[in-house]
Amino acid sequence: MSKTDKLKSYNPSGVGSSDSLYGLPFNFEESKVIILPVPWDVTVSYGYGTHEAPERILEASAQVDLYDFDNPDAWESGIYMLDISEEIKASSHMNRAKASEIIKYQEKGGNVLENAVLKQNLQEVNEASAEMNKWVFDQCTAIINREKIVGLLGGDHSTPLGYLTALANKYENFGILQIDAHADLRNAYEGFTYSHASIMYNALNEIKNISKLIQVGVRDICHEEVDFINNSKGRVVAYFDPFLKEQAYLGKHWNSICEHIIKDLPQNVYISYDIDGLDPKLCPGTGTPVAGGLEVEMVNYLIGKVKESGRKIIGFDLVEVGTSEWDANVGARVLYKLCNLASID
């Protein structure tokens, strides 16, 4: 059956099916947005389990109604989720056990470099993380070369580095709009070169095409990261959550704040959406929840204003979604909105 025939016969108001993401009937070729699941959360330093998020979101997506208030027919563009890699998932599980021992040892004051076994384990974790990055790069490159938009679905926030590298091969200049409770600007946090807490540090150091990083919602940050931002010569601009709340208390409208945020973004924009950027009532099972945060509608509005400004969303990720029914429910809706916003020409 052709896509034209599917559009005629498919009922977007019908009962959702868990056989495909959001119960949509489209295949790879017929879809504008391709979801790449990356079941990986090796270096997480607090909560564990977000490697299961792609499966939980797939299940929850059957309960998502397809009407989008901003773009009612967005579903017609097509969303297709690739199979979850059992090889990546198995590597995550195996290397998480090694990373966990390393983290516990350090928390008790130990020096991993003085422990032969843990030093070897650290090397193996870093090598496995590099292999995961290469796998993501290869997957994303192949999809981008087919003129599709990639939506990377983690897993933890270390997972998009290979995707950002693939985008750098297509775009000479692009910016990142990061929704996050954390700055993720630590250098090899806990000894892990590709830590979830180091994604933006690695991206900015390895990918010169990234001209701007705009962070929104950050509220848990260390001195090292503040220094990185202050010394970035404007390459990194952070809109800290306490600052955003203060502006609201003073009567400043979210619309005007969004306009101020967007003005620093270049024409091509990548959205990196760590769900812990939201109020933890919406994502209690995320890896590192932090009090405070944004509402879903606030982020939707901000990204909508990015599109309205004439900028192009070249890709996105959604990471750190917990595996409870509620976390997956919210994650499925956030992902659907991201897909719809990215698919608008």
Q: Are 85 and 136 in contact (CB under 8 A)?
A: no
pLDDT at 46: 79
Helix intervals (H) in the chain: 3-9, 53-60, 86-107, 116-144, 161-168, 199-206, 223-230, 241-249, 254-262, 296-308, 325-343
- Residue pLDDT, tens place only, 217-229: 999 999 999 999 9
- Does residue 29 contact residue 143 with C-beta atoms inside 8 Å? no
pLDDT at 45: 79
Lookup: tokens for 187:
């250098």
- 245-254 confidence digits (pLDDT tens): 999 999 999 9
61-116 pLDDT, tens digit each: 999 999 999 999 999 999 999 999 999 999 999 999 999 999 999 989 999 889 99
Q: What pLDDT does residue 17 have?
A: 72
Percent of the chain with pLDDT over 70: 100
Q: Is the pLDDT of residue 47 over 80?
A: no
Residue range 34-60: mean pLDDT, rounded = 93
pLDDT confidence of residue 304: 97
Does the predicted model carry a pTM greater than 0.85?
yes
The per-residue pLDDT for range 168-199, each reduced to its tens digit, is: 999 999 999 999 999 999 998 888 999 999 99
The CATH superfamily holding the domain 3-343 is Ureohydrolase domain (3.40.800.10)
